[in-house]
Structure 1
């Protein structure tokens, strides 16, 4: 039986991975505190991934204003992430999923069966998946779409607080 991919409305699975600073990151440590932009990307320092990471960097303050944390995941090593972070002054967490376990857990599809996919998951403060954006060829749209979804989530929260 094939396992189902996680869908919008599902509670996301927890995980723990090594950060670029050598410490460990656990997803559920953010639940209840922040919205989460969890983005899977193919490879550090490649043109599309660099463009995407730099756009997340340039918009990072806006993500913070939206009550969100940005987390990037690829199968690159911690050392590769450190170089990538330093070269482009990335202010957010990069996680090393060397064996692809988290990619499998989240059912991130591969492109042509070979290349690791580029997928962004928007998770609200309750740990519920609110949106999935899957596009290998539009790295910058991952950032603009994530911000749009976060603004919607935040306006819903304000609406519920008023009611």
Structure 2
């Protein structure tokens, strides 16, 4: 793996719009809806998925090291990017994950943190993170509790490749992109959080 250089981020150039406000799912300032708090219980799988303007689900999942991660706490100090991928260590998911890895310094500089999530076990997430040298955590959601609440579970139970951006402090969903290609996922997040698509 070649070293990352800040002057030349390894990104694709597949964006068609230079205006972040044209990105699908970007929150409108006047939107004031909020969602009710949720907890990680099977009953909540039946709740309606969040939309732009809703608050981040109040769920706790384990990361690759089996350390609990409470989502509503994360957004108190930084903005949050969550991307969902169908299965760890598969080609498309590796491309998506590595795209976020290669642009992680700029995303962090914009005051955002990155998390990946899938149905995979903590062990599989650990292997994926280690092999690809991801600088961010991967969340294990085998029951699909978060994936369901974010609206990324397919009717057949599988997962739509997707991403979401949550606002620092409020935890409000600013962007919701469901069923997106690996490179477009990275490009569109980069455009919104940095204000650049160069």
Partner SS for 1:143: helix
Q: Structure 2 regions of 5+ residues with no counterpart?
A: 1-45
Counterpart in the other structure of 2:162? 119
Match of 2:186 among 143, 150, 163: 143
Match of 1:93 among 114, 118, 137: 137
Q: CA deviation at 1:68?
A: 0.5
Residue deviations 1:20-76, cap 9 Å, x none? 112111111212211100111100011100000001000010110010000100011
Aligned residue pair count: 149
- Alpha-carbon distance between aligned partners in 2 of 1:92 and 1:81, rounded to the nearest angstrom: 11
Q: Which aligned pairs between 1:42-81 and structure 2 lie closer than 5 A? A: 42-81=86-125
CA RMSD in angstroms, aligned pairs only: 1.6
- Alpha-carbon distance between aligned partners in 1 of 2:122 and 2:47, rounded to the nearest angstrom: 29
Partner SS for 1:12: coil
Aligned 8 A contact 2:49 2:148 in 1: no
- Alpha-carbon distance between aligned partners in 2 of 1:105 and 1:134, rounded to the nearest angstrom: 12
Q: CA deviation at 1:4?
A: 3.4
- Alpha-carbon distance between aligned partners in 1 of 2:125 and 2:192, rounded to the nearest angstrom: 27
- Alpha-carbon distance between aligned partners in 1 of 2:124 and 2:130, rounded to the nearest angstrom: 10
Aligned 8 A contact 2:47 2:149 in 1: no
- Alpha-carbon distance between aligned partners in 2 of 1:23 and 1:4, rounded to the nearest angstrom: 27
Q: TM-score, normalized by length of structure 1?
A: 0.85
Q: Which stretches of structure 1, 4 residues or more, deviate above 6 A after TM superposition?
A: none
Counterpart in the other structure of 2:68? 24
Q: Which has the higher strand share?
A: 1
- Alpha-carbon distance between aligned partners in 1 of 2:157 and 2:51, rounded to the nearest angstrom: 23
- Alpha-carbon distance between aligned partners in 2 of 1:74 and 1:113, rounded to the nearest angstrom: 15
- Alpha-carbon distance between aligned partners in 2 of 1:37 and 1:54, rounded to the nearest angstrom: 15
